[in-house]
Amino acid sequence: MAIVTAVSEAGEEALYDIPDGELSKYKLNTQQMTDEARTRLFPSKDKLTKDDAHGVMATAPSAGGDVEGYAAICRYWIIDGGVYYYWYDYC
């Protein structure tokens, strides 16, 4: 089971407990943003910013080994042709 947060029909934040079999029906087609995709989608930009994104999701920092500090990292994404291209940057 997955716990998903979303806005309810009443416009309030709500939690939903989604069975794995149902959740897999809604898996998005995602690809990490590559230089090739960025050049195709944003030909005049060398680096994408949060202003280029269609959406944003806060993520937990991935820790490997000893962690000395945390930074707010977000996953930004754009949608193109049914594919969600994403990149990570500071929030």
Is 53 domain-assigned? yes
pLDDT tens-digit series, residues 67-80: 555 567 788 989 99
Q: pTM higher than 0.85, yes or no? A: no
Is 1 domain-assigned? no
pLDDT tens-digit series, residues 2-17: 888 888 899 898 998 9
Cα 41 → chain centroid: 17
Is 36 domain-assigned? yes
For residues 50 and 35, what is the distance between their CA atoms, to the nearest angstrom? Answer: 17
Is 7 domain-assigned? no
Number of C-beta neighbours around residue 85 at 10 A? 23
Number of C-beta neighbours around residue 86 at 10 A? 19
User: What's the number of domains the chain is made of?
Assistant: 1
| Structural domain boundaries enclosing 34 | 28-90
Is 55 domain-assigned? yes
- 24-34 mean pLDDT: 90
Q: Is 89 helix (H, G, I), strand (E, B) or coil?
A: strand
